[in-house]
Chains A and B, each alone.
Chain A
Amino acid sequence: MALSGMRGLSVFISEVRNCRNKEQERLRVDKELGNIRTRFKNEKGLTPYEKKKYVWKMLYIYMLGYDVDFGHMEAVSLISAPKYPEKQVGYIVTSCLLNENHDFLRLAINAVRNDIIGRNETFQCLALTLVGNIGGREFAESLAPDVQKLLISSSCRPLVRKKAALCLLRLFRKNSDILNVDGWSDRMAQLLDERDLGVLTSSMSLFVALVSNNHEAYWSCLPKCVKVMERLARNQDIPQEYTYYGIPSPWLQVKTMRALQYFPTVEDPSIRRALFEVLQRILMGTDVVKNVNKNNASHAVLFEALALVMHLDSEKEMMSQCVALLGKFIAVREPNIRYLGLENMTRMLMVTDVHEIIKRHQAQIITSLKDPDISIRRRSLDLLYGMCDVSNAKDIVEELLQYLGTADFAMREELALKAAILAEKFAPDLSWYVDVILQLIDKAGDFVSDDIWFRVVQFVTNNEDLQPYAALKAREYLDKPAIHETMVKVSAYLLGEYSHLLARRPGCSPKEIFSIIHEKLPTVSTPTISILLTTYAKILMHSQPPDPELQNQVWAVYSKYESCIDAEIQQRAVEYFALSRKGEALMDILAEMPKFPERQSSLIKKAEDTEADTAEQSAIKLRTQQQASNALVLTDHRPANGAPQVSQLGMIMVPSTSNVDQNVVDQPLTHSNGTLSVVDPQPPAQDHAPAGDILGDLLGPLAIEGPPGVSPQSELNNVPSHEGTLGANDALALAPVGDQESTVKPIGDIAERFHALCLKDSGVLYEDPYIQIGIKAEWRGHQGRMVLFLGNKNTASLDSVQAKILPPSHLKLDLSLVPKIIPPRAQVQCPLEVVNLRPSRDVAVLDFSYKFGTYLVNNRLRLPAVLNKFFQPIQVSAEEFFPQWRSLPGPPLKLQEVVRGVRPMSLGEMANLFNSLKLMVCPGLDPNACNLVASTTFYSENTRAMLCLIRIETDPADRTQLRMTVASGDPTLTFELKEFIKEHLVSIPTAGKPPAPVAQQPQPNIPPIASSDPGALLAGLL
């Protein structure tokens, strides 16, 4: 085969290669760039060959990491050259150096289009490759129909058509409107009948993108996919060159099975049977052979088949067969297969009923933890973490601890965290938990975050039975020659609090405890010294009657730190010194720390966050759900900064009758037994001992599950069901204690979620540790269709699921049947049809309840079928606007109001707000730049389509007030719209506000909307 023979290029590349260092290389490159620049300036003198040579040099330079920021214009202009060589140069350089945001690229659209619609196939290929690689939105709008034509044309060669398919895929990603769903699904089905495997492979990629976006529209293609699988599996009509090491196009098989995973299920029994036959054939017929490439190809198909089987939730028998296969894979020699075996087994955990079978492979998985391959070690850690439960926690955690000593540094932190979480989640008894954490600190102190030792302190504080044991353990660790600073902290804290419980044991007298802790002081950092000073005070307090010798020793320490430069230490030293002279009074002041309030473990929360990050990879099932509805995806993107803000404010229960945005309530309120009180945002530890402040603060964001003062026995019982309380609210701080036991706390802020959904059409409506309710809605005129996605997050089913709609009088709502039981880890979809009868701001409420174990959870959730969903933004010109405006003379069709207390915002922000409410801002209509004019069409059964006009006059000197005029052809609409806009101007839901007004309480809430109209209430408040 001929080489491309650009001698100049080869010479240049050789020269660059011969450069001894980066400096020389840069000089050589700069020289060349200068040369190219001059040559290009005088373009006339360049032959196409020379141009091409220079362009490839530029690309080579670009690959080496040098910016090439000239020649763009020339490149683009070459695209329209008539001859192939120049045109090719234009296309190559454009697609490498430019991106879709480049202005120059727009200039090329026409030339590219000419090539696409032209008759020259090679030109078509060049153009399609360019668009497929870097085409942007504008390309999508202007080229999609032509590219479509090429794809479905019968006269085009496969070479062109397969590129057209992928080009169309790119354009579809840039603008999904380019493919009209109704007409296109039939075409797509026809494309899947394609005989040419090249075209079929590309079409299948296109299909995967389409179906992941909207599977509903493509049901008709499902049987075609199964046909393709049958054709490939039986090796019918497969040209020899499309078999790869004897396997009929593994890529196409994989893509087709991927596509099938985007359909929630295969209902038609005969198609299902056919598909399972194929899958069975793949599962049974794949053997490990000698040829590595063949092995890889056949296993690519096999792993995809496994994923599809899991997705289809087939019969248990087939599942066990899959697990058995995976069990085989994780023990083979071939590392790639081992890796994928472990990964798929982790995915398998999402499937019900196979846990037990997977557990049989525990020994092998633990072996993989010592694999020489870090990728495999990681996978096996994930799997062990996922498969851990009460029954095997001890084994697994102990393995992890053992491995910790030899693990790579890259993995230690994760390993430590995972071990700590598993120990906490599944501890068969609490003393074991304490052992594990202390071992963790001992073995990998650097990788144990503060969260972990705070947590163990909390457990010990809240469980009296545990205290002597923990103190003893802490004392034992202090005997070790070199201990980690974290161990000093935790031991000092525990011994300060509880060493008196050990007093009679050898080596545990106050004096001995003091001296062994004090030994460590010279080696520790300032924050630890603070803890030690407190410990000394506590030891003194417990040694009554005072031991003068010990007292003198401690006092000497205090007086040494009296002049310490660190204010914290200095203060402690001075205060403890003074306090410890008070004798008996010391007892009260330095009393034992009170029990910690019960909150969610921040550790487990952390773990959940990391789980959320990896969810996409670890769960095929989840991925499918995510693609089907954006709902689940959104949880992953919970604003990370939301949590700290909220946790400072505390968990707030707002009166459930108030549907008003909590934003107007400027102080956090609790509502218990009908009285309102301001919550002290500090943890209670604050009040008790001045000594406790640092720890109190440090421990503030942490908590322990289960009600306070719970007996160790019931704490223990709580353990298996920990998962229940895990996901609780970000707000970790205070909650009215009485509500705790029977309350499942929502995750995230319900009101915020509702407000977000008022402005967009898909997302999460509600989430708690057990369930996630997502919504996806489509609105057309006065009608709408919402789909509720009820996802069970757990490994046990949710029972007695009930959902009822409490419709306001202006909406007709029809909810399809909601199943009583949601199987574990499953998601059910319940369509809800909405018809808008007339304008109103009332809100529909979803009354929702379910049972998980003994918990009965009942919620009333506002549904985002709000006024603005029935708007259709419309741009009106001055010629249309003013006659209409004048024809609506005054009340009740045109209403004006001066609104005060407006949340200050710039005009731009206000315009964005209006646009997001589907009120289209029409710039230029009002000559006064401080004013804003907007229009929209409102749809309801009564009013039909009705034009609404809005004018806002702002006062640049005072942004908190404005004058608003609203006009429409219907008095109710005018009024409702005016109030609606007012609500949004006066209080805009922002992130980080206190949590939901829809408080979760055992007794049924009064439906928020029934009793009060948010607008009226707001107006009253203002």
Chain B
Amino acid sequence: MIRAMIVINNQGKPRLSKFYNYTPVEQQQQLIRSIYSVLCLQPENVSNFLEGSSILGPDSRLVYKLFATLYFVFVFDSSENELAMFDLIQVYVETLEKCFSNVCELDIVLNYSKMHTILDEMILGGQVVETNSEKVMQAVEEISKLEKVTAATKLISKSASLLWG
């Protein structure tokens, strides 16, 4: 199963974290810190997999992908296929892209709740629930309608796009 989904920026700031097994908040922070300390030392052109046992406990793997300034990280156990997890990061980011078009770190920071909504439509209880980003978007839009967004949408200045940056 997927144990956690974490988004960290290249300064080590968490931007999104969701743990699918109960993890106390201190431990979450500890894990995020140790993951970052490994990721920030990764050279370019290396594989996206890391043996996680030393920091994440037995039988854990980690796959990450760096988009512009953000690391997207999945922590999972050996019951999942590494490359499939890697693809899932891509699907998540592509969905964000559909949602924000030219998504950048600031979108993600300021639309913290939306990130969660999208994630919940893709992963439930540590298992993949939907891999089709169209379907995810439909569900997210339905929810948005229900939320009856009244407040005027604030346009957010973009710095760099994730997919294109």
**Chain A residues close to B by CB (< 8 Å):** 1-7, 9-10, 13-14, 17, 49, 52, 56, 59-60, 62-67, 84-85, 88, 92, 99-101, 122, 125, 128-129, 132-134, 159, 162-163, 166-167, 169-170, 197-198, 201-202, 205, 208, 212, 241-242, 244, 249-252, 254, 258, 293, 296-297, 299-300, 303-304, 335-336, 338-340, 372-376, 378, 613-614, 616-617, 623
A170's partner among B109, B125, B143 (CB-CB below 8 A) is B125
The residue in chain A whose Cβ has the minimal distance to the Cβ of B20 is A133
A14 in contact with B110 (CB, 8 Å): yes
Q: With A and B bound together, what is the CA distance between A505 and B142 in angstroms? A: 90
Q: Which residues of A contact B14 (CB under 8 A)?
A: 63-65
A65-B25, A166-B127, A339-B49 known; A303+B151 contact, CB < 8 A = no
Verify A5–B116 contact, CB threshold 8 A.
no
Known: A304-B84, A335-B46. 7 other contacts (CB 8 A): A129-B124, A133-B20, A133-B125, A201-B130, A241-B132, A335-B48, A613-B53
Instruction: Report whether A10 and B28 are in contact in the complex, using a CB–CB cutoff of 8 Å.
Output: no
What is the CA–CA distance of A251 and B90 in the complex, to the nearest angstrom? Answer: 13
Q: Can you list 24 A-B pairs with a CB-CB distance of less than 8 A?
A: A2-B144, A3-B156, A4-B144, A5-B151, A13-B110, A56-B113, A62-B25, A63-B16, A88-B146, A122-B142, A125-B139, A159-B139, A167-B125, A241-B132, A251-B128, A252-B131, A296-B87, A297-B83, A303-B82, A304-B81, A373-B47, A375-B50, A616-B59, A617-B61
Q: Which residue of A lies closest to B94 (CB)?
A: A293
Residue contact A132 to B110, C-beta cutoff 8 Å: no
Q: Which residue of B lies closest to A206 (CB)?
A: B127
Which residue of B has the minimal Cβ distance to A299?
B83
Contacts of B147 in A (CB 8 A): 4, 52, 84-85, 88
Output the least CB separation between A55 and chain B (Å): 9
The complex places the Cα of A205 from the Cα of B84 at a distance, in Å, of 14
Question: Which of B51, B98, B143, B153 is the one whose CB lies under 8 Å from A378?
Answer: B51
Question: Smallest Cβ distance from B32 to chain A, in angstroms?
Answer: 8
Kindly state the separation between the CA atoms of A198 and B124 in the bound complex, as whole angstroms: 13
Also in contact, A251 and B153, with CB within 8 A (given A9-B112, A167-B125):
no
Which residue of chain A has its CB nearest to the CB of B63?
A336
**How many chain B residues touch A (Cβ–Cβ < 8 Å)?**
70
Verify A198–B132 contact, CB threshold 8 A. yes
**Residue among A202, A244, A251, A340 with the highest chain B CB neighbour number at 10 A:** A251
How far is A372 from B84 in the complex, measured between Cα atoms in Å? Answer: 24
A59 CA to B16 CA in the complex, in Å? Answer: 10
Residues of B within 8 A of A254 (CB): 81, 84
The answer to whether B83 and A300 have CB atoms under 8 Å apart is: yes
- From known contacts A3-B153, A63-B16, A378-B51, infer whether A300 and B84 are also in contact, taking CB-CB under 8 Å: yes
Q: Which of B20, B87, B109, B135 sits near A198, CB closer than 8 Å?
A: B135
Shortest B159–chain A CB gap in Å is 12
- How distant is A305 from chain B, measured CB to nearest CB, in Å? 11
Q: How far is the CB of B94 from chain A (nearest CB, A)?
A: 9
The docked-state distance in angstroms from the alpha carbon of A38 to that of B71 is 36
Contact of B111 (CB < 8 Å), options: A4, A125, A340: A4
B78 touches A205 (CB 8 A): no
User: Contacting B134 at CB < 8 Å: which of A163, A241, A300, A340?
Assistant: A241
Dominant SS among interface residues on chain A: helix
Closest 6 CB pairs of A and B: A300-B83, A373-B46, A132-B125, A335-B47, A65-B29, A99-B22
A376 touches B46 (CB 8 A): yes
Q: Which residue of A lies closest to B130 (CB)?
A: A198
- Taking the closest CB of chain A, its distance from the CB of B16, in whole angstroms, is 7
B interface residues (Cβ-Cβ under 8 A, vs A): 14, 16-17, 20, 22, 25-26, 28-29, 32, 43, 45-51, 53, 58-59, 61, 78-79, 81-84, 86-88, 90-91, 98-101, 109-114, 116, 120, 124-125, 127-132, 134-135, 139, 141-144, 146-154, 156
- Across the interface, A335 reaches (CB within 8 A) one of B45, B58, B90, B130, namely B45
Once the chains are docked, how many angstroms separate the CA of A129 from the CA of B130? 13
Q: In the bound complex, do residue A340 and residue B84 qualify as a contact, i.e. CB atoms below 8 Å apart?
A: no
Contact partner of A296 (CB less than 8 A), chosen from B83, B134, B148, is B83
Interchain nearest-CB distance for B114 vs A (Å):
5
The reply to whether A375 and B49 form a contact with Cβ atoms under 8 Å apart is: yes
Q: Which residue of chain B has its CB nearest to the CB of A410?
A: B54
User: How long is the Cα–Cα vector from A100 to B9 in the complex, in angstroms?
Assistant: 30
Number of residue pairs across A and B with beta carbons under 8 Å?
A: 207
In the bound complex, do residue B87 and residue A163 qualify as a contact, i.e. CB atoms below 8 Å apart?
Answer: no
Using Cβ atoms and an 8 Å threshold, which residues of chain A touch B101? 1
Interface centre among B82, B99, B152 (most CB of A within 10 A): B82
Docked CA distance A339–B48 (Å): 9
Whether A251 contacts B87 in the complex (CB less than 8 A), given A242-B132, A375-B46, comes out as: yes
Q: A1-B141, A162-B129 are in contact. Are A375 and B51 (CB under 8 A)?
A: yes
Complex-state Cα separation, A699 to B139, whole angstroms: 67
Which listed residue (A56, A163, A244, A258) contacts B124, Cβ 8 A?
A163
Q: Is the CB of A336 within 8 A of B86?
A: yes
Q: Are A129 and B120 in contact (CB under 8 A)?
A: yes
Bound-state Cα–Cα, A92 to B17, Å: 14
A1 contact from B48, B49, B98, Cβ within 8 A:
B98
Q: Which of B48, B59, B131, B154 contacts A5 (CB 8 A)?
A: B154
Contact B124 A166 (CB under 8 A): yes
With contacts A169-B125, A303-B81, A335-B45 known, is A6 near B113, CB below 8 A? yes
- CB-CB under 8 A for A166 and B125, given A5-B151, A65-B29, A134-B22: yes
Instruction: For B153, list chain A residues within 8 Å (CB).
Output: 2-3, 5
Q: Which of B86, B129, B135, B146 contacts A241 (CB 8 A)?
A: B135
CA–CA, A403 and B113, complex, Å? 49
Question: In this complex, what residue of B is CB-closest to A342?
Answer: B47
What separation, in Å, do the CA atoms of A244 and B83 have in the docked complex?
13
Residue of A nearest to B134 (CB): A241
CB neighbours of A373 from chain B (8 A)? 43, 45-47
- In the assembled complex, which residues on chain B have CB atoms less than 8 Å from the CB atom of A258? 79, 81
CB neighbours (8 Å) of B143 from chain A are 88, 122
Please tell me if the beta carbons of A250 and B111 are within 8 angstroms of each other in the complex: no
A1 to B95, CA, bound (A): 12
How far is B124's CA from A163's CA once the two chains are assembled, in angstroms? 7
Chain A residue nearest to B29 (CB atoms) is A65
Closest to A300 in B: B83
Cβ distance A771 to chain B, nearest Cβ, rounded Å: 25
A252 to chain B, nearest CB (A): 8
CA distance in complex: A60, B111 (Å): 11
B82 touches A202 (CB 8 A): no
CB distance from A297 to the nearest CB of B (A): 5
